[in-house]
C-alpha cells in the first residue's frame, strides 16, 4: 500500500510542528514508520491522502461512538456555525447539554463544561484540593489523565509509548504531591494513606483503564477505593473521559455500580469536537467560581459547535434503546475472533475487553491486570502486527498501550473483514 503523500506531508509537518504532530502518540513512536495523514472519514472508514481506505478502530481515540461524520452531527454543527462559532457568553444549548449529563451520570448533579479532558481532570483535582485543604493526590501507574503537571508521573498513553512518563518541566514540588499506587492493588493505596493520609486530597482513577491498554477493574477494587477515601476524608475522582457515555449511558460508574465524588468527562460528549466536563453533587460544585472560591475559567468553554455535536451524538444514542447492547455484541465478536485468530496462528496473546473498548496484548498469554503486566508485553510484536494490519486496510491504535473502539457505524460485515485481515496480519508474526 503506497502512502507517498503521507510521507511528504509528514516531512513538511516536521519543519514547523515539533515532531511533525500535535499530539505525541500520532508520531508512530510506539510502532515505527511514518504516520498516516488522513483526508476524510465516513462511517467506519478513513481515507488517507493517497486515497487508501481503512476500516477504523481508533475512532479519534474514542469520541466517535457514532462513527465518522454522522449526518445528524454534521448538520447540527453546520447549523450552529451559521448562528455564530463562539460568543464567550452563555447559551441555552450549554444548559441543555448539562441537563443531559445530570440526567444520565449517577454522581453528577451539577456540571461545568470545559474544553478538553485535560482541563476537566486538572480542574477536578484543583476542586478536591480546594474543598479539603490538602495538597497530595493519588494516581495509578499507567493511568493517563491528560498532560497537566500533576498527572505526568508514571503516566500511560503516549507518555508510556515514548518511554518517558516523567516529563521535564514538572517541578519537584508537584511530583512530591503526586503519589503513585498500583492499579487493581488496594494494598498499595492503603500503604499511601498510612504514610500520607492527612495530606491526601483525592484519589483519581480511570474506573476502566484505557491508557495502558484496556484493563478492567478487579472485583471489589472500585468499592474499596470508595471506602478508603471516605474513611480518610478524601475525595474519589473517576476519570471517565474515555468511559463516559462509551460503556453505558451512565458510564463505568453505572456499569460497576460505584459512585465517585467527582466525575470527569470528555470525548463522546463532544461528538468529535473538543470538549470536556467535570461534575459532582451540588454541594461540591458550589465551591466552583463564581458560586465559590475555586477558580476555573475558559473563553471557549461550552463552545456552541462542540455543544451542538455533543447533543446530536447523545440524541443518536438515546433514540436507540439497544445502542449499547449492539456495541457490546459487536465488540464481543471482535474480541472472540481475535482470540481465535491468535490460537489458530500460534500467537500467545490475551484480549481485554469492557463493552466497546478492547486491547489485544502480546503478553505471551499472561493476564494483563496492571501497568507492570502491560509493560511486560512484546511491543515489537505489536508494532509488526500494527503495520501488517495497516497494509491490509485496518487502522488500529499505533501503540500497544491504547484501546480499540467499536462504533455504531461498524457492521457485522466489518467485523468479519477485520477478523479475516487480522488473521493474515498475525500470520506474519508466526
How would you class 106 by CB atoms within 10 Å of its CB: exposed for 0-12, middle for 13-18, buried for 19 or more?
A: middle
Q: How far is it, in rounded angstroms, from Cα 196 to Cα 108?
A: 28
Helical residues (DSSP H) of 208-281, grouped into ranges: 221-232, 251-255
Q: How far is it, in rounded angstroms, from Cα 94 to Cα 99?
A: 9
- Return the SS3 of 66: coil
Residues 266 and 279: beta-carbon distance below 8 Å: no
Would you say how long the chain is, in residues?
430
Backbone angles phi, psi at 190, to 5 degrees: -55, -45
**Which among 418, 299, 316, 308 is positioned nearest to 358, based on CA atoms?**
418
Q: How far is it, in rounded angstroms, from Cα 258 to Cα 107?
A: 9
Residues 53 and 47: beta-carbon distance below 8 Å: yes
**Torsion, CA 253, CA 254, CA 257, CA 262, rounded to 10:** 30
Cα 326 to the center of its chain, rounded Å: 21
* Marked catalytic residue, from 139, 256, 267, 371: 267
* Marked catalytic residue, from 56, 239, 261, 370: 239
**Which among 73, 60, 68 is positioned nearest to 315, based on CA atoms?**
73
* Marked catalytic residue, from 48, 54, 139, 144: 144
Q: Which residues pair with 361 in a beta bridge?
A: 350
- Give, as one character, the DSSP assignment of residue 115: S
For 151, what's the count of Cα atoms within 13 Å in the CB-facing half-sphere?
Answer: 28
Neighbour tally for 179: CB within 10 Å: 21
| Cα four-point dihedral sign 27, 28, 34, 36 | negative
Neighbour tally for 202: CB within 10 Å: 25
**Annotation says 267 is catalytic:** yes
Cell digits of residue 80: 450552529
Q: Which residues are catalytic?
A: 144, 239, 267
Amino acid at each position: 500500500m503506497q502512502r507517498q503523500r503521507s510521507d511528504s506531508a509528514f516531512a513538511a509537518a516536521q519543519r514547523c510542528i515539533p515532531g511533525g504532530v500535535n499530539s505525541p502518540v500520532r508520531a508512530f513512536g510506539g510502532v515505527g514508520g511514518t504516520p498516516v495523514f488522513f483526508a476524510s472519514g465516513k462511517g467506519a472508514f478513513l481515507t488517507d491522502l493517497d486515497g487508501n481506505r481503512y476500516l477504523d478502530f481508533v475512532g479519534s481515540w474514542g469520541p466517535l461512538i457514532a462513527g465518522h461524520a454522522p449526518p445528524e452531527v454534521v448538520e447540527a454543527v453546520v447549523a450552529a456555525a451559521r448562528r455564530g462559532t463562539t460568543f464567550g457568553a452563555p447559551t441555552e444549548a450549554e444548559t441543555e447539554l448539562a441537563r443531559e449529563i445530570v440526567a444520565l451520570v449517577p454522581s453528577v448533579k451539577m456540571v461545568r463544561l470545559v474544553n478538553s479532558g485535560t482541563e476537566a481532570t486538572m480542574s477536578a483535582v484543583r476542586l478536591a484540593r480546594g474543598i479539603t485543604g490538602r495538597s497530595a493526590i493519588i494516581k495509578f501507574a499507567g493511568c493517563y489523565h491528560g498532560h497537566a503537571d500533576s498527572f505526568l508521573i508514571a503516566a500511560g498513553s503516549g507518555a508510556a509509548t515514548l518511554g518517558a512518563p516523567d516529563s521535564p518541566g514538572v517541578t519537584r514540588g508537584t511530583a512530591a504531591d503526586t503519589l503513585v499506587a498500583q492499579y487493581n492493588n488496594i494494598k498499595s493505596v492503603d500503604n499511601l494513606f498510612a504514610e500520607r493520609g492527612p495530606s491526601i486530597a483525592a484519589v483519581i482513577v480511570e474506573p476502566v483503564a484505557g491508557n495502558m491498554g484496556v484493563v478492567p477493574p478487579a472485583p471489589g477494587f472500585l468499592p474499596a477505593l470508595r471506602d478508603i477515601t471516605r474513611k480518610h476524608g478524601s475525595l474519589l475522582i473517576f476519570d471517565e473521559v474515555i468511559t463516559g457515555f462509551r460503556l453505558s449511558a451512565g458510564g463505568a460508574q453505572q456499569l460497576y455500580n460505584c459512585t465517585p465524588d467527582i466525575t470527569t468527562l470528555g470525548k463522546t460528549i463532544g461528538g468529535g469536537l473538543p470538549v470536556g466536563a467535570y461534575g459532582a453533587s451540588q454541594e461540591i460544585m458550589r465551591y466552583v467560581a463564581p458560586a465559590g472560591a475555586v477558580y476555573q475559567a475558559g473563553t471557549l468553554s461550552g463552545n456552541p459547535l462542540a455543544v451542538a455535536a455533543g447533543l446530536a451524538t447523545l440524541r443518536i444514542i438515546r433514540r436507540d434503546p439497544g445502542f449499547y447492547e449492539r456495541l457490546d455484541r459487536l465488540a464481543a465478536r471482535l474480541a472472540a475472533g481475535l482470540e481465535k485468530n491468535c490460537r489458530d496462528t500460534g500467537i500467545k496473546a490475551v484480549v481485554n475487553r469492557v463493552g466497546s473498548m478492547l486491547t489485544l496484548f502480546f503478553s505471551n498469554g499472561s493476564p494483563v491486570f496492571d501497568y507492570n503486566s502491560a509493560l511486560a508485553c512484546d511491543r515489537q510484536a505489536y508494532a509488526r502486527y500494527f503495520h501488517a494490519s495497516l497494509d491490509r486496510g485496518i487502522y488500529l491504535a499505533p501503540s500497544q498501550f491504547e484501546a480499540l473502539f467499536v462504533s455504531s457505524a461498524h457492521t457485522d460485515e466489518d467485523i468479519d473483514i477485520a477478523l479475516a485481515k487480522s488473521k493474515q496480519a498475525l500470520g506474519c508474526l508466526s
